[in-house]
Amino acid sequence: MPRFAYVNGRYVPHGDAAVHIEDRGFQFADGVYEVVSIHRGRLVDEAGHLDRLERSLNELRLQAPMTRRALALVMRELIRRNRLHNGLIYLQITRGVAPRDFKFPKGVAPTLVMTTKRNARAPAATLRDDEGVSVVSIPDIRWKRRDIKTVALLPQALGKQQAADAGAFEAWQVDDDGNVTEGCSSNAWIVTKDGVLVTRPATNDILNGITRRSVLAIAAREGYEFQERPFSVAEAQEAREAFLTSATTYVTPITRIDGQPVANGHPGSLSSALRGHYVAFAESDRAELYIAG
């Protein structure tokens, strides 16, 4: 079956999809993106992702290429053309094509591209109930506006490779105070010995994950105690549980940090319960649960 991409108003074969060499996304990382999970044909947390996309565009003074309603229609048409059941859709908007100059060009139309990726199984099914993943800690070397979902991802790419070289699933980035900010493509969580959920507050230090917001909403709904505060690598290693959240991995237990097992080295009961709640939410008729703001 042919695979299609969307480029500036046209659905084209994926292998033929291209943008100009002077696109500012290519030359300056002058663009933003979003990744939305597709679970059994449903766009999970679509409203939250589109809200964040609009915020990122505004923060970079970037023009939206079309209305939100039109964007949603294009997303669905691309999913339909690719006959996607489980997977993800990637959206990228850049400032457009212009002669290379640091200053913003005038009268230039933004570039919009979309691609999809198929997963044979939904993210919830990629791990057994008794499995978890490992993370390594690395210095956080990113810029100071991590709350904007830009395409400037070189530090994260370096971190992901460092994790892969160590045989780990993800890298937790650590600030100058020794506290975990977030993963390279995920938010970081722990469960204290007292059973309290902890994740870093949503400031400019992290990207406020849409899955993160939904998990906080689930925790509030289920009556789980949670705190939004920094935590150190040492505290995480001594925690009862640890896990990560993202649009592509949902809620994923962490069982080793820097080679050291978390608790007994198996997924904990709270992270497993949250994973179950999130999967149920993703499969529900109304897959929108994030906390606005």
pLDDT tens for 161-210 read: 999 999 999 999 999 999 999 999 999 999 999 999 999 999 999 999 99
Task: Yes or no: say if 270 and 241 are a contact pair by the CB < 8 Å rule.
Answer: yes
Catalytic (active site) residue 149: yes
Task: Yes or no: say if 111 and 25 are a contact pair by the CB < 8 Å rule.
Answer: yes
Q: Which of 106, 117, 149, 193 is catalytic?
A: 149
Confidence of residue 41 (pLDDT cuts 50, 70, 90): confident
Q: 36 — phi, psi (to 5°)?
A: -115, 130
Q: Residues near 16 by Cβ (< 8 Å), separated by ≥ 6? A: none
Sign of CA dihedral 61, 67, 69, 71: negative
Distance (Å, whole) CA 260 – CA 134: 9
**Pairing label, strands 226-228, 42-43:** unpaired
**What integer is the mean pLDDT of 263-280?**
95
Distance (Å, whole) CA 65 – CA 148: 18
What pTM was computed for the model?
0.93
Sign of CA dihedral 5, 74, 184, 25: positive
DSSP 258: T
User: Is pLDDT above 90 for 290?
Assistant: no
pLDDT tens for 55-72 read: 999 999 999 999 999 999
Distance (Å, whole) CA 184 – CA 138: 10
Q: Which is more confident, 207 or 126?
A: 207
Distance (Å, whole) CA 190 – CA 186: 13
Q: What is the mean pLDDT of the chain?
A: 93
Q: Which is more confident, 222 or 288?
A: 222
**Pairing label, strands 241-246, 226-228:** unpaired
